[in-house]
């Protein structure tokens, strides 16, 4: 199978296709067709069940357009850039780091400084992939990946399409903490659109400009909250630590979650969610032989992140990131605390009030005033800060502080320095954040790619999607063998009954039975029911992967299908139990 | 109750609040908190069930950013404007039509031409609501409501945030028709974000800049498809026809769907969906005494729409549109057919091939060539068009066509004109579109507003939301009477069991029982379960609206709650059946 096969099947069967094809299409924008939209909902609901409901977290739904100050604080305005090189001949834009990666042995060129990338392009005589012009000597620029727009009339209120759903959670932390009655830990999830104005979108829905993220921000007290490792202790992880990646013959390391934490291989909070994630990927049909957790190399690691691992899947021979698991420390909240007027801490009450010593000053303003004039207030403020920071500075006869670059000296006796005992009932703490950040579109691509199978049935080649029943957008196809003798009415009746029981059903009466089976095989429908003229009270139930068929009583269908969906029986067991045909 | 009460409750209890409050907030952008996000999902799922699954339609999921050519075709680039007047003194922007409506008796000022609005502002001495400056003489401008951005590096590819989800469906019609195997009728739904860069956002989530739409585009063959009116024939509609609105003492007209169609009051396809809609609004708790279907006045009606009715709800004394039901004819598809290179028709096969006469030409190029030189091809093409259009033109000795503004005359004998009989197997038809377009945020505002109640319980005032169990984000609260004697463990166990049964459960052990009830009353939780020390095997079940309590066996809880949720029993029945306490 090639990626073209999958992309063609996806378009043919209603999974996804490039948008606005009537107008020539737009790179990096895809539409989910009827099967794809349902698969997406199933994947999202299954994520919600595993990462939110079972973990006791709550969900919010924030806007996709956000005002500029948010991204000044988050750092995206300054640093959310890719390296852009524009061909001077044909005008085509390229990602400079991708050019280097694609044409040299260098990996992760994204973390190489821009000047070095320019040098590499020259050294390796890299050419424009579009027209072949030499790109050596062409300058490489930083290109900000946020889509910009204006809010309201005029251009005075720039806004941006959020580059990650996370900021919609961080920026509302003060309100969300109130909903949690200021008790840590608590977790907030969001599923929604995010946008990156990629220079060169790639690989259909893998690198797109508009995508769906499912993010969890788990806010914890770093001094005392610990994950409940027991819940996932025995989950086996296939790990690719930074150390192994840097070796020439680096290998995967297999550990349970408990072992990984015990050995200090993975940060405990990150390890907890790797365990949750592993269970989830497996349940939705990611092939565990084509899956790994890869630790960020030191060059990749954001400066604020204590530990970061990507869940990666192998598709078309490449490893792609489908989830980032990061321990983000207090980076995001402290930035918003600094840039906004709101308080991004929670007040943590002590069990018992604590008596603490606190150094204070009470400067003699009748001395400071005449001595320092308009600067007297600043001098007093600096004295207060110094007392908090360094009591020893007040041990001599004189104290020196700096005000606007100038040293000011004050006799200690005029500072009113003293140490007092105060009773504190608690303290303000800045929560740390643990973040599993899932790219839903990439998970969907992986699920489809790993489900794609070719085989030969009765001498004929077929392609099918062996999707897990939990996520398959259509669960059962119902067909009349022929469109007459009441078979069509019976089949429609069965389809309606199954729909009423909550199954995703498709009814199909066009073309030969073989062709209808092939169609549902390509859609990935796990089961098909065919109504024939053998008897009125039985039907044929066929399984997609094995193409085996078994005759079952019509009235048992809803229960049988429910058992198959819940995994309480398998088709092989049904087959074995059925009388010979 | 005032709208302030509702907005404050919504913020306090986690329904919705203005976004980015830490940075002063941004007009027209709201975040749904934990309760609101779940309410929104419940409303969306209930819409999906009623308008999509039960009607046999399919859903897609298209991007929110779309390229410029789509909106050139749809007309949004040219005409999706509001009237903007900017105060020359303070610089504040206002909607000119709203100024007129708010300060005169004039309604629907939106449909008044811009010059007349300028005159009205001057005539009525209207002032800037912000600073009081006279606005007479200030020019009123058209302001396009789409958010603009750029796709990719540079500014050569403008894109817009879609102003309606519908365009994401229309523009993909050729592909979607293939999924439907080119058989009409078929319906496509989409739930997603849409954006309007409002000049002055109003009334919290009622008029916002980013909102959620649920739209259905039902594609039909106008010559033969008819709605299955029987399915909703008896649904009672409260109608406010254009004719009644134009009378001084206009009144509502009450008709069933069948009657409305029979009397020609409402277009049959629109009437069908008014019936579906009415059932839906009622099921999610819209107060039918504060609800109506209002027909568009001739001035409001888009030129392409054959009939259009708005579902309106009354909130805070105003009527707001919560859904538009439009018969859009073939306007959208024919525009995209015209502007793009794709074919937006479906080929409709005749039952029997038809033999039709067709006029053709076969021009003598050895005459046209020397005679018209480089224009010969164009002349031939014009002859062909003329033959299709007007056979009579070929009855004389000469035929005249126009090529680039110049008349060209050709002897009829050189045109090779003839009429032949051809067998046609079918024809290309441009489907018509019926569109129910729901504003999810406005539906949510209505549901909350209509559910908001104040009363006095045991001498104390309380506010509560009498939300329908179908949409209530929290279905049951579970409390231990006190946090000891094992009551808390029993209560947690019950909460876990109910969660496992699929109920939305909240557990609360903080504050007095009375305070916990009030909290859930404000959240709109229909039922609360309190674990006390009376007996280990019974609990108290309390209903929100009546505040009545009844003691029930713990083991019966899941079934009882399921019956209450499905409406298979009522709390009053439970209460009557319970032994005296």
Convert the pLDDT of each residue in A258-296 to its tens digit.
Answer: 999 999 999 999 999 999 999 999 999 999 999 999 999
pLDDT value of residue B200: 85
pLDDT value of residue A303: 66
Tokens of B49: 């069930």
pLDDT value of residue B109: 87
- B22 to A179: CB separation less than 8 angstroms, yes or no: no
The tally of CA atoms less than 13 A away on the side-chain side of residue B532 is 11
pLDDT value of residue A306: 77
Over residues B34-48, the mean pLDDT reads 97
Over residues A156-175, the mean pLDDT reads 96
Residue B82's SS3 state is strand
Strand A527-531 relative to strand A538-543: parallel, antiparallel, unpaired? antiparallel
Strand A236-240 relative to strand A291-295: parallel, antiparallel, unpaired? parallel
CATH code 3.30.720 region(s) in chain A = 346-429
Residues 6+ apart with CB under 8 A from A230: none
pLDDT value of residue A567: 85
CATH code 3.40.50.800 region(s) in chain B = 474-577
The partner residue sitting opposite B152, judged by closest CB among A19, A20, A93, is A93
Residue matched to tokens 């009954």: A497
What CA–CA distances, in Å, run from B255 to A300, B259, B292?
67, 6, 12
Lowest-pLDDT range, A111-125, A170-184, A310-324?
A: A111-125
Measured CA to CA, the distance from residue A97 to residue A120 in angstroms comes to 10
pLDDT value of residue B482: 85
Identify which of A462, A432, A357, A407 has the alpha carbon closest to the alpha carbon of residue A170: A432
Tens-digit pLDDT profile for residues B124-155 = 999 999 899 999 999 999 999 999 999 998 77
pLDDT value of residue B580: 57
A181 in reach of chain B (CB within 8 A): yes
**B-contacting residues in A 26-55 (Cβ below 8 Å):** 26-34, 36-38, 40, 53
Mean pLDDT, rounded, of chain A:
92
B145 in reach of chain A (CB within 8 A): no
Highest averaged pLDDT of the listed ranges A17-26, A100-109, A366-375: A17-26
pLDDT value of residue B28: 95
B405 has pLDDT over 90: no
Dihedrals phi, psi of B190, to nearest 5 degrees: -155, 135
- B53 to A499: CB separation less than 8 angstroms, yes or no: yes
B524 has pLDDT over 90: yes
Cα of A204 to nearest chain B Cα, Å: 14
CATH H-level, domain B3-63+161-332+434-440: superfamily: Bira Bifunctional Protein; Domain 2 (3.30.930.10)
A156 has pLDDT over 90: no
B434 has pLDDT over 70: yes
B554 in reach of chain A (CB within 8 A): no
Q: Do residues A398 and A452 make contact, with C-beta atoms less than 8 angstroms apart?
A: no
CA angle B136, B140, B144 (to 5 degrees): 160
Strand A158-161 relative to strand A65-67: parallel, antiparallel, unpaired? antiparallel
A251 has pLDDT over 90: yes
Percent of chain B with pLDDT over 70: 98
Residues 6+ apart with CB under 8 A from B73: B335, B336, B338, B339, B340
Q: Do residues A317 and A330 make contact, with C-beta atoms less than 8 angstroms apart?
A: no
Measured CA to CA, the distance from residue A197 to residue A574 in angstroms comes to 51
A224 has pLDDT over 70: yes
pLDDT band at residue B351 using 50, 70 and 90 as cut-offs: confident
What CA–CA distances, in Å, run from B409 to A151, B373, B412, B415, B480?
58, 14, 9, 11, 97
The partner residue sitting opposite B59, judged by closest CB among A11, A37, A152, is A37
Measured CA to CA, the distance from residue B361 to residue A486 in angstroms comes to 52
Cis-peptide into A185, omega within 30 deg: yes
The partner residue sitting opposite B60, judged by closest CB among A24, A33, A336, is A33
Q: How large is the ipTM?
A: 0.90
Just give the CATH number of B474-577. Answer: 3.40.50.800
B60 has pLDDT over 60: yes
Measured CA to CA, the distance from residue B435 to residue B238 in angstroms comes to 20
- B174 to A21: CB separation less than 8 angstroms, yes or no: yes
Q: Which residues of B touch A210 (CB under 8 A)?
A: 63-65
- B65 to A143: CB separation less than 8 angstroms, yes or no: no
A536 has pLDDT over 80: no
A171 has pLDDT over 60: yes
Residue B340's SS3 state is coil
- In three-state form (DSSP H/G/I as H, E/B as E, the rest C), the secondary structure along B243-283 is HHHHCCCCCCEEEEHHHHHHCCCCCHHHHHHHHHHHHHHHH
Measured CA to CA, the distance from residue B434 to residue B270 in angstroms comes to 7
**B-contacting residues in A 331-360 (Cβ below 8 Å):** 336, 339-342, 344
pLDDT band at residue A579 using 50, 70 and 90 as cut-offs: low
Q: Do residues B238 and B292 make contact, with C-beta atoms less than 8 angstroms apart?
A: yes
- B148 to A150: CB separation less than 8 angstroms, yes or no: yes
pLDDT band at residue A235 using 50, 70 and 90 as cut-offs: very high
Tens-digit pLDDT profile for residues A191-218 = 999 999 999 888 889 999 999 999 999 9
Residue matched to tokens 């007290």: A221
Strand B158-161 relative to strand B65-67: parallel, antiparallel, unpaired? antiparallel
Measured CA to CA, the distance from residue A503 to residue A526 in angstroms comes to 12
- B171 to A62: CB separation less than 8 angstroms, yes or no: no
CA angle A232, A236, A237 (to 5 degrees): 105
CATH code 3.30.930.10 region(s) in chain B = 3-63+161-332+434-440
Measured CA to CA, the distance from residue A300 to residue A294 in angstroms comes to 12
Residues 6+ apart with CB under 8 A from B520: B474, B477, B506, B508, B528, B544
Tens-digit pLDDT profile for residues B294-327 = 999 887 767 667 789 999 999 988 999 999 999 9
Tens-digit pLDDT profile for residues B353-373 = 999 888 889 999 899 889 888
Chain A residue at shortest CA distance from B41: A61
pLDDT value of residue B303: 66
Tens-digit pLDDT profile for residues B214-231 = 999 999 999 999 999 999
Just give the CATH number of B346-429. Answer: 3.30.720
Over residues A335-353, the mean pLDDT reads 93
Highest averaged pLDDT of the listed ranges A355-359, A408-412, A425-429, A430-434: A430-434
A572 in reach of chain B (CB within 8 A): no
């Amino acid at each position: 199978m090639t990626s073209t096969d999958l992309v063609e099947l996806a378009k043919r069967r209603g999974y996804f296709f490039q948008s606005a094809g009537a107008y020539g299409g737009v790179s990096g924008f895809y539409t989910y067709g009827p099967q794809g939209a349902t698969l997406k909902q199933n994947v999202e609901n299954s994520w919600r069940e595993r990462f939110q409901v079972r973990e006791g977290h709550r969900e919010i739904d924030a806007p996709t357009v956000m005002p500029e100050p948010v991204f000044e604080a988050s750092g995206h305005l300054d640093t959310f850039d890719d390296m852009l090189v524009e061909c001077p001949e044909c005008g085509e834009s390229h990602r400079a780091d991708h050019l280097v990666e694609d044409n040299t042995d260098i990996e992760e060129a994204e973390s190489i400084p821009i000047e070095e990338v320019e040098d590499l392009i020259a050294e390796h005589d890299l050419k424009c992939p579009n027209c072949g012009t030499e790109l050596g000597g062409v300058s490489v620029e930083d290109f900000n990946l946020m889509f910009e727009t204006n809010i309201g009339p005029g251009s005075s209120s720039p806004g941006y399409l959020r580059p990650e759903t996370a900021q919609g959670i961080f920026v509302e932390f003060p309100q969300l903490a109130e909903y949690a009655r200021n008790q840590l830990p608590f977790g907030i999830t969001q599923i929604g659109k995010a946008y990156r104005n990629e220079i060169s979108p790639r690989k259909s829905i893998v690198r797109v400009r508009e995508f769906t993220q499912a993010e969890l921000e788990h806010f914890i007290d770093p001094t005392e909250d610990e994950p409940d490792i027991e819940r996932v202790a025995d989950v086996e992880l296939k790990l690719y630590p930074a150390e192994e990646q840097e070796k020439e013959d680096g290998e995967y390391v297999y550990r349970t979650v408990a072992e990984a934490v015990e050995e200090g291989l993975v940060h405990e909070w990150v390890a907890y969610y790797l365990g949750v994630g592993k269970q989830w990927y497996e349940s939705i049909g990611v092939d565990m032989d084509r899956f790994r957790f890869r630790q960020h190399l030191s060059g990749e690691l954001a400066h604020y992140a204590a530990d970061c691992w990507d869940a990666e899947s192998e598709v078309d021979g490449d490893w792609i990131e489908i989830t980032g698991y990061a321990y983000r420390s207090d980076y995001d909240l402290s930035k918003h605390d600094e840039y906004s007027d709101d308080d991004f801490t929670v007040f943590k009450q002590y069990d018992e009030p604590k008596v603490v010593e606190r150094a204070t000053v009470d400067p003699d303003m009748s001395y400071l005033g005449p001595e320092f004039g308009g600067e007297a207030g600043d001098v007093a403020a600096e004295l207060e800060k110094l007392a908090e920071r360094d009591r020893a500075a007040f041990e001599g006869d004189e104290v020196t502080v700096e005000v606007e670059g100038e040293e000011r000296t004050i006799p200690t006796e005029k500072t009113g320095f003293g140490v007092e005992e105060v009773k504190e009932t608690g303290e303000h703490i800045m929560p740390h954040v643990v973040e599993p950040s899932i790219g839903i579109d990439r998970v969907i691509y992986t699920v489809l790619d790993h489900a794609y199978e070719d085989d030969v049935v009765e001498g004929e080649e077929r392609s099918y999607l062996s999707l897990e029943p939990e996520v398959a957008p259509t669960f059962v196809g119902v067909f009349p063998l022929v469109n007459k003798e009441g078979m069509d009415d019976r089949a429609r009746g069965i389809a309606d009954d199954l729909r009423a029981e909550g199954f995703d059903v498709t009814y199909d009466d066009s073309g030969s039975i073989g062709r209808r089976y092939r169609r549902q095989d390509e859609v990935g429908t796990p089961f098909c029911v065919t109504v024939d003229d053998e008897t009125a009270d039985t039907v044929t139930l066929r399984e997609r992967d094995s193409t085996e068929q078994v005759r079952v009583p019509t009235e048992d269908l809803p229960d049988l299908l429910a058992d198959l969906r819940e995994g309480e029986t398998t088709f092989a067991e049904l087959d074995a139990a059925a009388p010979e045909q």
